[in-house]
Structure 1
Amino acid sequence: MHPVIPYVLAALLFGTGVYGVTVRRNAVLLLMSVELMLGAVNLVLVTADVTLKQHVGQAFALFVIVIAAAEVGLGLAIVLQLFRLRRSIVTDEVGAEREPVAVSEDA
């Protein structure tokens, strides 16, 4: 297999993930887009490892998989807490309900 094909596929996956991160308002879809980008990075690392035969890309891919698993766990915990507090997982409303800071005019 020619190494250009996985690189182009990884670029398409990464571009789709970036589009999902910038456009989506749902927190779960946002996490899925980040996972798509991490999967594209894994594809690039493994393809580079196969073509260059240095056996470093697989180790980096393993680290990316571990980071992705930790990101999913932490991200889902944040999404669940956000849903418990607001009954919505729309990311546009995350910082909207803060109380205004009272400024005293005595100073």
Structure 2
Amino acid sequence: MTDAGTLTRADLAEALHKQIGLSRADSARVVEQILAKMCEALSHGENVKISGFGTFVLRDKGERIGRNPKTGVEVPIAPRRVLTFRASQMMRDRIMAAD
């Protein structure tokens, strides 16, 4: 992992290289293809579920009234689509066991 405990694309590609034996170029290409497929599915409105890891879900949020915390003035917030992630129970258990 890189600085500050952040896992990057390069880290994933390096793990593929070391654990599976793919060349570094092929490992990077596989990581990019997986991420591209996930982005493509999400951009078409599909959810992405990775068993044992979690689910990326698109949600439509309606228009609502927000408030400027500094001035207290009410401001309309436009409707938008947001991406959320819900970790699987297996992932949650692994995270809790790591503490």
TM-score, reference length from structure 1: 0.29
More strand by share: 2
Higher RCO structure, 1 or 2 (CA under 8 Å, sep 6+):
1
More helix by share: 1
Bigger Rg, structure 1 or 2? 1
